[in-house]
Amino acid sequence: MQERVIPRDLFNESKLLQLIGKLCLAIHDNDIQGIEFDHDGSPFAIALTDGGNLYIENIFFKLIESEEELNVFTTYNSRMTNPLLYEIDGTESYVFDDEGNFTPEFLKLA
């Protein structure tokens, strides 16, 4: 288990949870289609990659049609308003814009 530092880790992890929650709620409420998520019901396992990306190890996203896995993460210490990114096929882009709406790129993917 990773040792956490307050307030830095609290800020980063809470932002990640907030944005992942927003995405999962939109999927659950059918506000966005073409993407699904899966969670095993256990406590959220937040992890940090060597490259500085923060993600939840036990929430999985995938495209429904192609069944491709979608990596969803945020960059540690990002000062952006909505710093949630996704990666698929080596390409990264943002899930939300500065106003909190889905980006056109993400909507096209879904």
pLDDT digits (tens, 9 = 90+) for 66-93: 999 999 999 988 888 889 999 998 899 9
Query: Mapped to the 3 state alphabet, what secondary structure does 7-32 carry?
Result: CHHHHHHHHHHHHHHHHHHHHHCCCC
- Residue of higher predicted confidence among 3 and 77: 77
Position 7 scores a pLDDT of 72
Which residue from 25, 96, 17, 84 is spatially nearest to 53, judged by alpha carbons? 84
91 phi and psi angles, rounded to 5 deg: -110, 130
Asked whether 93 and 106 are in contact (CB, 8 A), the reply is yes
Other beta carbons less than 10 A from residue 60's beta carbon: 15
Position 5 scores a pLDDT of 66
Domain ranges of the chain: 8-109
- Residue of higher predicted confidence among 24 and 79: 24
Position 108 scores a pLDDT of 92
Rounded CA gap, 27 and 63, in Å? 11
